[in-house]
Structure 1
Amino acid sequence: MGCAGEQDQGGTVTDAIVVGAGPNGLAAALVLANAGLQVEICEAASTIGGGARTAELTLPGFRHDVCSAAHPMALASPFLRAFDLARHGVEMLQPPVAYAHPLDGGRAGLAWRDLDRTVEGLGRDGRAWKSLFGPLVDRWQRLSGLALSDQRHIPLDLRVMASLGLRLVEQGSPLWNLRFRTQAAPAMLTGVSSHASSPPRALAPAGVGLMLATLAHAVGWPIPRGGSQAIVDAMAAEFTRLGGRIFTDHRVRKLSDLPRARAVLLDVSPAGLLDIAGDELPSRYARRLRAFRYGTAACKVDFALSGPVPWTAEGCDQAGTLHVIGSREEALAAEREVAAGRHAERPYVLVVQPGVVDETRAPKGHHTLWTYAHVPHDSPRDVSEAIIAQIERFAPGFRDLILAKHVRTARDQARHNPNYIGGDIGGGALTTWQLLARPAPRWDPYTTPLRGVYICSASTPPGPGVHGMSGVHAARRALRRRFGIEPPAI
């Protein structure tokens, strides 16, 4: 019996089956379907989207992004650029300020889309910011190609690699304050690097920060009109137009649950791969999957508000995304606490306010607010009060605007999405080693020892983000190895 509950006389329903309808699973399915193959997707949840779902979580009429909310990687992705979200009806709205970093005393660092405007606002550190990001912004497409590659066939651009390498060494080491003289610029960069859910003074988080901050000036940090669901809905619509079929509410517990297919692509975590195929995997490969490290976690809190957040610092009301933590030193201390398994008294809080550009998210005059705080792995604690306190610190009166809230602890995250092991929404710890050896030390990270079975989740290179590239890389291998089809360049 197959995903559709039917099977032809020959015993094979389709050429390829994709398990999981998140951005990576959908991207893999699109690559295969575009090659003329018959493809089915099995999704355990009742709706598609994985980490890009949108739902009414608090009150009627308030639409909240369930996981991802702002999408610089969607505009950086070679696959999604070729897919052309705008052509498929997705409107990517650009907040005037890509991200803001409020500081005590009514100040804030503001990352405008315009690099020169950002430089002007940073005063004494403006020139340092320009010298740090100018060369990367000028070559952002090549930088994106490097960052979103399979980490095995890296586009050779010595100038980009040299520029990035020097900056990685600087920002991932005790040299990270060398170029700065004031507080705002280093705090801004640390806030972005903390997206890696890891102490920011290390090579991997520094790479994340440099990439995301570059994209702020190159393509912006857009917010999809109507919610992140618009991105995956557009991908699903194109997939079905190509003849693909999607089956929701269909949890695959074992490979034997699936009909025979020439290729099976699994948008699952290493733990999920062990659950589905563990008995069939060679013991050595299974041990490597069990050794895969998961990272710290997120407690997600969504708010329905009676009005906009009353930020003290000028410009924060125009920002789509804010990093709410304070100084660079505070961010480093908070992330070290969480990495050590303790809850930070003042946690790092990531905030997205869609209402800055998207009036469809809440009834007229009202707003939604998307937040999460970093917490220890598998934490059961509701940290909504700590989140409210951090926002109140920079926006007095925020608490009075709250109409309702929806809390999903780290442990709840894992129940909601099986790929979020222990509440790790990034698919695994972002260390330098695990950026390359995801999910196991192998030349080809997408193949498994099982013939025709591939893994295509964020636990493979290039890692987390709504870019679809993990699915693309896995599907291109399947096309070559299983079907003898050379996929077109992207």
Structure 2
Amino acid sequence: MSRQGKLRGMTETVDAVVIGAGHNGLVAANLLADAGWDVAVLEGTEHLGGAVRSAEITAPGFLSDLCSAFYPLSAGSPPLLALDLEAHGLRWTHAPEVVAHLFPDGRSAVLSRELDLTAESLERFAPGDGQRWREVYAQWRRLEPDLLGSLLTPFPPIRAGVRLAATAGLGDMLRLARRFLVPAGVLGEELFQGDGARLLLTGLALHTDLAPDDAASGGFGWLLAMLGQQHGFPVPVGGAQQITDALVRRLGSRGTVRTGAMVDRVIVAGGRALGVRCADGRFVRARRAVLADVPAPTLYQTLILKDHLPARLLRDLEGFRWDNATLKIDWALSGPAPWLSPDVAGAGTIHLGADPQRYAADLAAGRAPEDPFLLVGQMTTADPTRSPAGTETLWAYTHLPRPAKPGEVDAEMVRTQVERVEDAMRRHAPGFADLVLARHVSGPAELVAKNPSLVDGAINGGTAAAHQQLLWRPVTGLGRADTPVDRLFLASSSAHPGGGVHGAAGANAARAALARHRPLLGDVYAAGVRKAMKAIY
């Protein structure tokens, strides 16, 4: 096991310091340790895992995931798969069905890992949609190996991109690129005839902060739909914390993981990161690299003195856009939710409530949606270890407008939205209120209190909008883990490829740090980065 505890003792020196023990930070630490580096992971809170944690927060015996809960991106992620976390105790399990969209009139569209069952469900909404889904999925299976590599590796994805282009051919490559640009509403209308498949795509797109008519929302919806068809939406047996614990076990004695070690400064001299200072005044020197698993604004506006950064970068960062705030409610139920449609009872993830267009328009206008769109998670349905037999650990989350001023959450709006969420649950599952044994509410203030990286309840490290992806994530020119400070790397979801539990941001930062110190070629790499940064800033 890694050595865990509060930061103590005199200044120490390691090869690399990782700021933050979220899953990206722990992935980065593992890859550096695999390369023989001595690594110190410094976590500012008393808990490891960031947004990948679980605890009994409603009632004894009911285990809730505190933020992320279902993991389709983890199941298909090359960086996480390469770590073989199953060899370190991680076990996956599935709900009987993957995702269901429940309509207010009781109809439901169900995505199942069984392709025939998905097709049968969609066919009920429009003849031919089952076959259309099969054709879309067949294309995905042909492109998937190199497509995921292209999406999750540093930008531009040269090797995986070349392989993908060779597999797809010019015509399909252009069509694929367009698929990642079109709005979800448009893509659904192009691919399908019925509301079932269309709203499945739209609901999956709303797992991000994108509206159905936003550019790129179609690509996100399609990606999650295809991952769900191929891999399902798996969950760790025993809670999300098991992912974190497996990463820590894998790191073992090759790295030090410390809680209560809040970093308040990255030490920079001569344009190079030399280490960090913690809030208690202690220093940890880094021979080779500092990797920051924190939001980009935290790194550039708080942890580094502005004199060490290009003025243009700081100006660009003023335009950094967070994703929407989040409201999450966890319940302990005495029995399964009594849904309007029995077809959704076996789904791990359920979409319900709201006209998606109106919901998104309200958020864009800074209004709390009167009819909120809900993502609901049936955790005991997916993993029976989450609560006593015959009961259910269940959660729902929805988005709120971001506060007008950072940190100023409207408590009355949160209370109103809690009532609206529970009203939506009662309408879609009559008798729901009679099953509630206990409830726990996590508004934006509670989320950031548990994890400082969830700024005002933003769970994806910044918007998924097209203007803040690829070369523009987190700002123009920083589409890779490299930063304008030599030997400092951004390893959080604020970096490409963004939010989701796939570990790619941490893996990309670790590989950039290793490339910087590759024998003979490291200085060439650093010179190339300096030249690029100079051209941009």
Query: Equivalents in 1 of 2:500, 2:519: separation in Å?
Result: 30
2:465 corresponds to 1:454: no
CA deviation profile, 1:449-469 (whole Å, cap 9, x unmatched):
222111110000111011111
Q: Say if 1:3 and 1:259, in contact at 8 Å, map to a contact too.
A: no
Aligned to 2:264: 253
Q: Say if 2:328 and 2:443, in contact at 8 Å, map to a contact too.
A: yes
1:259-274 aligned within 5 A = 259-261=284-286, 262-273=288-299, 274=301
2:322 corresponds to 1:316: no
Aligned to 1:135: 139
Instruction: Letter of the 2:256 partner, please give it.
Output: R
Query: Equivalents in 2 of 1:166, 1:218: separation in Å?
Result: 22
The alpha-carbon deviation at position 443 of structure 1 amounts to: 5.2
Instruction: Letter of the 2:459 partner, please give it.
Output: I
Aligned to 1:167: 179
Q: Say if 1:20 and 1:42, in contact at 8 Å, map to a contact too.
A: yes
Is the deviation greater in 387-396 or in 164-173? 164-173
**Among candidates 265, 270, 276, match of residue 303 of structure 2:** 276
**Among candidates 432, 436, 452, match of residue 402 of structure 1:** 436
Q: Which runs of 5+ in 1 are unaligned?
A: none
The alpha-carbon deviation at position 30 of structure 1 amounts to: 0.6
Over 3 Å counting, the alpha-carbon distance change for 1:334 and 1:445 in structure 2 is same
2:50 corresponds to 1:22: no
* Partner-residue secondary structure (3-state), 1:254: strand
Query: Equivalents in 2 of 1:386, 1:444: separation in Å?
Result: 39
* Partner-residue secondary structure (3-state), 2:485: coil
Aligned to 1:210: 222
1:109-258 aligned within 5 A = 109-123=109-123, 124=127, 125-154=129-158, 155-156=160-161, 157-158=164-165, 159=168, 161-168=173-180, 171-172=183-184, 174=186, 176-241=188-253, 243-256=254-267, 257=277, 258=283
Query: Equivalents in 2 of 1:414, 1:357: separation in Å?
Result: 27
**Among candidates 323, 328, 335, match of residue 300 of structure 1:** 328
CA deviation profile, 1:270-298 (whole Å, cap 9, x unmatched):
22112111333332222222321112121
The alpha-carbon deviation at position 483 of structure 1 amounts to: 5.2
* Partner-residue secondary structure (3-state), 2:206: helix
Query: Equivalents in 2 of 1:344, 1:315: separation in Å?
Result: 27
1:431-446 aligned within 5 A = 431-436=465-470, 437-442=472-477, 445-446=480-481
The alpha-carbon deviation at position 220 of structure 1 amounts to: 0.9
Aligned to 1:387: 421
Is the deviation greater in 305-314 or in 123-132? 123-132
CA deviation profile, 1:94-118 (whole Å, cap 9, x unmatched):
2221111001222100000122321
2:13 corresponds to 1:5: no
Query: Equivalents in 1 of 2:402, 2:519: separation in Å?
Result: 42
Q: Say if 1:3 and 1:42, in contact at 8 Å, map to a contact too.
A: no
Over 3 Å counting, the alpha-carbon distance change for 1:176 and 1:118 in structure 2 is closer
Aligned to 1:481: 516
Instruction: Letter of the 2:65 partner, please give it.
Output: D
Aligned to 2:385: 360
CA deviation profile, 1:370-428 (whole Å, cap 9, x unmatched):
21111111353132221111122221111111111111112332333221222111110
Q: Which runs of 5+ in 2 are unaligned?
A: 268-276, 278-282, 404-408, 523-537
Aligned to 2:448: 414
Query: Equivalents in 2 of 1:268, 1:484: separation in Å?
Result: 29
The alpha-carbon deviation at position 207 of structure 1 amounts to: 1.5
Instruction: Letter of the 2:490 partner, please give it.
Output: I
The alpha-carbon deviation at position 173 of structure 1 amounts to: 6.3
1:336-375 aligned within 5 A = 336-375=361-400
Over 3 Å counting, the alpha-carbon distance change for 1:105 and 1:444 in structure 2 is closer
* Partner-residue secondary structure (3-state), 1:440: coil
* Partner-residue secondary structure (3-state), 2:263: coil
Query: Equivalents in 1 of 2:457, 2:430: separation in Å?
Result: 30
Q: Say if 2:180 and 2:220, in contact at 8 Å, map to a contact too.
A: no
Over 3 Å counting, the alpha-carbon distance change for 1:444 and 1:198 in structure 2 is closer
Q: Say if 1:51 and 1:66, in contact at 8 Å, map to a contact too.
A: yes
Over 3 Å counting, the alpha-carbon distance change for 1:400 and 1:77 in structure 2 is same
Query: Equivalents in 2 of 1:95, 1:296: separation in Å?
Result: 28
CA deviation profile, 1:336-388 (whole Å, cap 9, x unmatched):
21122111111111111111131211123222112111111135313222111
Q: Say if 1:132 and 1:167, in contact at 8 Å, map to a contact too.
A: no
CA deviation profile, 1:292-347 (whole Å, cap 9, x unmatched):
11121210111111111111213211101111125xxx112101211221111111
Aligned to 1:429: 463
Query: Equivalents in 2 of 1:175, 1:194: separation in Å?
Result: 14
Instruction: Letter of the 2:510 partner, please give it.
Output: A
The alpha-carbon deviation at position 169 of structure 1 amounts to: 5.1
Instruction: Letter of the 1:249 partner, please give it.
Output: G
* Partner-residue secondary structure (3-state), 1:203: coil
Is the deviation greater in 460-469 or in 376-385? 376-385
Q: Percent identity?
A: 37
The alpha-carbon deviation at position 121 of structure 1 amounts to: 1.7
| CA RMSD, 1 decimal | 2.1
Query: Equivalents in 2 of 1:198, 1:170: separation in Å?
Result: 12
- Number of residues of Structure 1 aligned to a counterpart in Structure 2: 479
Over 3 Å counting, the alpha-carbon distance change for 1:119 and 1:483 in structure 2 is same
* Partner-residue secondary structure (3-state), 1:51: coil
* Partner-residue secondary structure (3-state), 1:389: helix
Q: Return the TM-score normalized by structure 1.
A: 0.93
The alpha-carbon deviation at position 60 of structure 1 amounts to: 1.5
Q: Return the TM-score normalized by structure 2.
A: 0.85
Q: Say if 1:270 and 1:290, in contact at 8 Å, map to a contact too.
A: no
The alpha-carbon deviation at position 175 of structure 1 amounts to: 6.0
**Among candidates 360, 370, 384, match of residue 335 of structure 1:** 360
Is the deviation greater in 224-233 or in 477-486? 477-486
The alpha-carbon deviation at position 6 of structure 1 amounts to: 3.2
Q: Say if 1:24 and 1:472, in contact at 8 Å, map to a contact too.
A: yes
Q: Say if 1:140 and 1:215, in contact at 8 Å, map to a contact too.
A: no
Query: Equivalents in 1 of 2:364, 2:145: separation in Å?
Result: 33
Query: Equivalents in 2 of 1:109, 1:322: separation in Å?
Result: 10
Query: Equivalents in 2 of 1:361, 1:114: separation in Å?
Result: 25
CA deviation profile, 1:70-92 (whole Å, cap 9, x unmatched):
00111111011111232222111
Query: Equivalents in 1 of 2:290, 2:256: separation in Å?
Result: 15
Instruction: Letter of the 1:184 partner, please give it.
Output: G
Q: Say if 2:95 and 2:383, in contact at 8 Å, map to a contact too.
A: no
CA deviation profile, 1:145-173 (whole Å, cap 9, x unmatched):
12212232242212163452343455546
The alpha-carbon deviation at position 254 of structure 1 amounts to: 1.4
